[in-house]
Structure 1
Amino acid sequence: MANFKPLVLDDDRLFPADPTVRAIARRLYAGIKNLPIVSPHGHTDPAWFASNANFDNATSLLLLPDHYVFRMLYSQGISLESLGIRTKDGTPVETDYRKIFHTFAKNYHLFRGTPSRIWLDSVFHDVFGLEHALNSDTADLYYDSINEQLVKPEFKPRALLDKFNIELIATTEGAVNSLKHHAALKGTGYEKRVITTFRPDDVIDADRADFLSNIKKLAEQTGQDTHSWQGYLQALRIRRQFFRDHGATATDHGHPTAKTANLSETEASSLFQLCLSGNASKEQTELFRGQMLTEMAGMSIEDGMTMQIHPGAFRNHNPSIFERFGADKGADIPSPTEFVSNLKPLLDKYGNNAALKIILFTLDETTYARELAPLAGHYPALKLGPAWWFHDSPEGMLRFRHQVTETAGFYNTVGFNDDTRAFLSIPARHDVARRIDCRFLAGLVAEHRLSEDEAHELAQQLTYQLVKQAYQLD
């Protein structure tokens, strides 16, 4: 017998169970649920918006780019090959997209209790209007219905920006990226709505296999001698301006740790030469990354770009997966991260400069109350990014608010960013953040720690104003 259960999204989802607090949360949410979405940091493909072509099919859009999805399936023994994930050497993988979708549908129960389930159900219900829960019996219904809709004009990427009420979305590109897709947007009216972010890890991380080739490309792009310390720094300034010309208001730095350094020019130059030689130790390449965070902070004061630091991920923890499929295949794992000592060299030099805007993120929740909130609650240059990646979840967001608010307040945080490749889930992700913020604020109102008028004002700011201020998007 076919299993056609209804797909229902309760209007009170994620709100408190207590009826008094829930009523307050409802009122707060009603005031902000329809505010425009500002997505200041993410990894959507700019080619989508440049070409404005319809998406191919449900599998290639919803499953293949989303490591949240296939890491869960892989954890249950389902091979990445069977999910259509391309191999580095071109070894054949499953290409029957309907079959892949069936595998996903058959195992959709694995996502119970996860944020992925919340996001996906919202996409299925709100974006595609599906009325039955996903399972093996409804897999074809889902696949066919989604594909029928994807070919329509209203499902082109630019039309979806309007449908989703996305005021601005930022992508993230490496320092030597040509930005050809952002260039193609110029003159379309979307160039200020789809902007880039400068992520220079490709020319700063000497542990990368492509570090030297990227340094060479940096020289070709800028006309600078990137084998000299000053030429290298000037080349980075030129590329930052190039990104600024394509809309960038922020930089992003995905280092393994939060280590910073403040070396003399002679010391920094010698370390750079050692990295170029390929003979630097792991400690020396880490020191170089730390020095470059301080250099990037100085450049942010010069050009006004907001600086984001995303440390603490052990990237590509599974070597066999990395060797066969490459990076970003669900094998990145959070690591313990120390901020107080690691950031001190940078903060000694620039932390008191209110013109500098640094947003700190962490995958180590033990640092929220002990390190990050006290740091942001003191240094003018620091703000706290929202619960990130593994903690971009209802419970993760609540833990963040509970642990940082008493010390850092609300105004040393920067609202929400979705940090996603999964374009269609962006409204759902922002909606979760809005609901959780209203839940947290409602608790403060119910405990008479905040007036409801103040809570309404804060809900607006957490949803919209703070993110625009932090990323200088006004």
Structure 2
Amino acid sequence: MKTLINTPKSFIHDNFLLENKYAEELYHNYSKNQPIIDYHNHLPPQQIAEDKTFKNITEVWINGDHYKWRAMRTLGVNEKFITGDASDKDKFMQWAKTVPYTMRNPLYHWTHLELSRYFGISDLLNGKSAEKIWEETQIKLNTEGYTCRGLLKKVNAELVCTTEDPLDNLHYHKEMASEDLGFKVSTAFRPDKAILISAVGYTTYLNELGEKVAFEINSFSSLCHALRNRIQFFHDNGCRLCDHGLDQIYFENYTENEVNTILQKKISGKEISNEEALKFQSAVLVYLCETYHEFGWVQQFHLGALRNNNARMHRILGPDTGWDSIGDYPQAQKLSAFLNALDSKDKLTKTIIYNLNPADNEVMATMIGNFNDGSVKGKVQWGSGWWFLDQKDGMIKQLNALSNMGLISCFVGMLTDSRSFLSFPRHEYFRRILCNLLGDEIKKGELPNDMEWIGKIVSDISYLNAKEYFKF
């Protein structure tokens, strides 16, 4: 097997992160060439449909990337060069100067993987190399194969599943459904705005939803009817997944009369209590999940983010600009009661649960086993390391906890959860970490030297389990 010498100018080499011959064999023979099923991301479907060409690397790589923004702010880079009115080149130069200071943050690995995989650049990015790399990427981005679709083809993407609000008309998904793109684009239904009744603008959102379904939403039953209408619309246009970004699962006892009264209070402009909000959110979430089961969808729950912590910067820049962190919400009891309520009525569909607080790792690893009933392989999944846990240490801890308390062999693997078209080497990063973990245990004698069987498990986790699970 060919191995490149790891010099400073080839930091990303053939066996990057692979520490022995077993890891190398697992990665190169069983994982590397598997297609990518990216079943949850935030890519703009319009850009894929229009096959957008990017003017420069800042536009495709730095704009919108709150991971990079947080690092730059921490280093003392002025906001002008992050989200402000500086030129794209000046923003790139400031990012390049930041990169050497990101060592041991996943950004350092991701940065050099992305430069290598998309642009064939092996130089380390820093202030000295920045001008050369700017020019090299500028030339490449203006050549054939570097449009949105070209970038997805470069990484062997088979499926990309974007995330849309129930109000979305799926115009661009409809356009792409009739084209041969070389990969499939689907969508996931994200109804958070219909659930979170205490959020600013909730009644405005109800009015917009009412306009979309052509009837007034003035009761809990009419809200449910509207959501079902939109689920049917999404389903008719190829959607088979949903996603929810919640601090925790809501599960309070409620009656329909209670939640109807709560909604009426909200519509009339009255304040509702936290207890009332939890009852209402519980009712909407249960209704949605029973409906997902009816339609045969996969439901996803991203739990535990503490969002928009910096009120001043949130006012200036808005959400999703780098002011979120890990929350310490209690998760186990309500999650168990919620899943049990659905399962008791045989209305628990295939489910993936993600946690942002690593303290909840073992909670999630054991929780999924309570509701895997033998009807579907890996019916209830603990999702891959998410957001702040989407790095080497977080992935290894997730893989180890899932192995210790469940079946790693049933795991549906990695996703990007990203807004960037250059983020797909995160699948490679995950695959290398997985192969090295197993290869190390083969070397130690903790796993047998059975490459055919362990290689099959690697192939399954890299691609085949997701292909079977989602059935696109």
Query: How is 1:118-197 mapped onto 2 (pairs within 5 angstroms)?
Result: 118-190=109-181, 193-197=184-188
Q: Which of 326, 332, 338 pairs up with 2:330?
A: 338
**In structure 1, what is the equivalent of residue 406 of structure 2?**
408
**In structure 1, what is the equivalent of residue 57 of structure 2?**
58
> Cα offset for 1:180?
2.5
CA distance in 2, matches of 1:275, 1:230: 15
Q: Which of 387, 391, 397 pairs up with 1:393?
A: 391
Moved more, 236-245 or 448-457: 448-457
> Cα offset for 1:412?
5.2
Moved more, 435-444 or 399-408: 435-444
Q: Which one-letter code corresponds to 2:438 in the other structure? A: L
> Cα offset for 1:123?
1.4
> Cα offset for 1:226?
1.6
Runs of 4+ in 1 over 4 A off after TM superposition: none
Is residue 300 from structure 1 mapped to residue 292 from structure 2 by the alignment?
A: yes
Moved more, 220-229 or 439-448: 439-448
**In structure 1, what is the equivalent of residue 376 of structure 2?**
none
**In structure 2, what is the equivalent of residue 438 of structure 1?**
435
Q: Which of 202, 224, 227 pairs up with 1:233?
A: 224
Query: How is 1:247-258 mapped onto 2 (pairs within 5 angstroms)?
Result: 247-258=238-249
- How much is the aligned-residue C-alpha RMSD, in angstroms? 2.1
CA distance in 1, matches of 2:144, 2:441: 45
**In structure 2, what is the equivalent of residue 467 of structure 1?**
466
> Cα offset for 1:388?
0.7
CA distance in 1, matches of 2:89, 2:26: 42
Is residue 261 from structure 1 mapped to residue 252 from structure 2 by the alignment?
A: yes
Q: Which one-letter code corresponds to 2:350 in the other structure? A: K
Cα gap change, 1:437/1:430 in structure 2, threshold over 3 Å: closer, same or farther? same
What is the CA deviation profile of residues 284-340 of structure 1, one whole-angstrom value per residue up to 9, with x for unaligned ones?
323322332222210111111111001110111111110100011111111123332
**In structure 2, what is the equivalent of residue 73 of structure 1?**
72
> SS where residue 408 of structure 2 aligns?
coil
What is the CA deviation profile of residues 74-133 of structure 1, one whole-angstrom value per residue up to 9, with x for unaligned ones?
1222232222x1xxxxxxx32311111111112221211121111110111221122322
Q: Which of 339, 343, 347 pairs up with 1:351?
A: 343
Q: Which of 329, 332, 352 pairs up with 2:321?
A: 329
CA distance in 1, matches of 2:293, 2:253: 16
Q: Which one-letter code corresponds to 1:61 in the other structure? A: V
CA contact 1:41–1:172 (8 Å) conserved in 2: yes
CA distance in 1, matches of 2:26, 2:107: 25
**In structure 2, what is the equivalent of residue 88 of structure 1?**
none
Query: How is 1:275-294 mapped onto 2 (pairs within 5 angstroms)?
Result: 275-278=266-269, 279-294=271-286
CA distance in 1, matches of 2:180, 2:201: 35
**In structure 1, what is the equivalent of residue 47 of structure 2?**
48
CA distance in 1, matches of 2:435, 2:267: 50
Moved more, 441-450 or 453-462: 441-450
CA distance in 1, matches of 2:153, 2:203: 42
CA contact 2:160–2:184 (8 Å) conserved in 1: yes
**In structure 1, what is the equivalent of residue 423 of structure 2?**
425
CA distance in 2, matches of 1:211, 1:287: 16
**In structure 2, what is the equivalent of residue 89 of structure 1?**
none
TM (norm. structure 1) is 0.91
> Cα offset for 1:149?
1.2
Is residue 202 from structure 1 mapped to residue 193 from structure 2 by the alignment?
A: yes
**In structure 2, what is the equivalent of residue 368 of structure 1?**
361
Q: Which one-letter code corresponds to 2:12 in the other structure? A: L
CA distance in 2, matches of 1:14, 1:274: 56
Q: Which one-letter code corresponds to 2:164 in the other structure? A: E
TM (norm. structure 2) is 0.91
CA distance in 1, matches of 2:279, 2:145: 49
**In structure 2, what is the equivalent of residue 246 of structure 1?**
237
CA distance in 2, matches of 1:224, 1:348: 34
> Cα offset for 1:179?
2.2
Query: How is 1:217-232 mapped onto 2 (pairs within 5 angstroms)?
Result: 217-232=208-223
Structure 2 gaps, min length 5:
1-6, 373-378
**In structure 1, what is the equivalent of residue 454 of structure 2?**
455
CA contact 2:217–2:223 (8 Å) conserved in 1: yes
> SS where residue 196 of structure 1 aligns?
strand
> SS where residue 259 of structure 2 aligns?
helix
Structure 1 gaps, min length 5:
17-21, 86-92
> Cα offset for 1:440?
2.2
CA distance in 1, matches of 2:190, 2:34: 29
Q: Which of 9, 14, 19 pairs up with 1:11?
A: 14
Moved more, 277-286 or 329-338: 277-286
CA contact 2:75–2:98 (8 Å) conserved in 1: no
CA contact 1:415–1:464 (8 Å) conserved in 2: yes
CA contact 1:175–1:198 (8 Å) conserved in 2: yes
CA contact 2:196–2:281 (8 Å) conserved in 1: yes
> Cα offset for 1:274?
3.3
Cα gap change, 1:262/1:346 in structure 2, threshold over 3 Å: closer, same or farther? farther
Cα gap change, 1:250/1:337 in structure 2, threshold over 3 Å: closer, same or farther? same
**In structure 2, what is the equivalent of residue 19 of structure 1?**
none
> SS where residue 154 of structure 1 aligns?
coil
> SS where residue 246 of structure 2 aligns?
coil
CA distance in 1, matches of 2:145, 2:275: 52
CA distance in 1, matches of 2:122, 2:326: 36
> Cα offset for 1:354?
7.7
Moved more, 167-176 or 223-232: 223-232
Aligned residues: 455
Cα gap change, 1:338/1:28 in structure 2, threshold over 3 Å: closer, same or farther? same
Q: Which one-letter code corresponds to 1:437 in the other structure? A: L
> Cα offset for 1:7?
4.5
Q: Which one-letter code corresponds to 2:318 in the other structure? A: G
What is the CA deviation profile of residues 347-402 of structure 1, one whole-angstrom value per residue up to 9, with x for unaligned ones?
23213538611110001112222x21221112135211111111111111101111
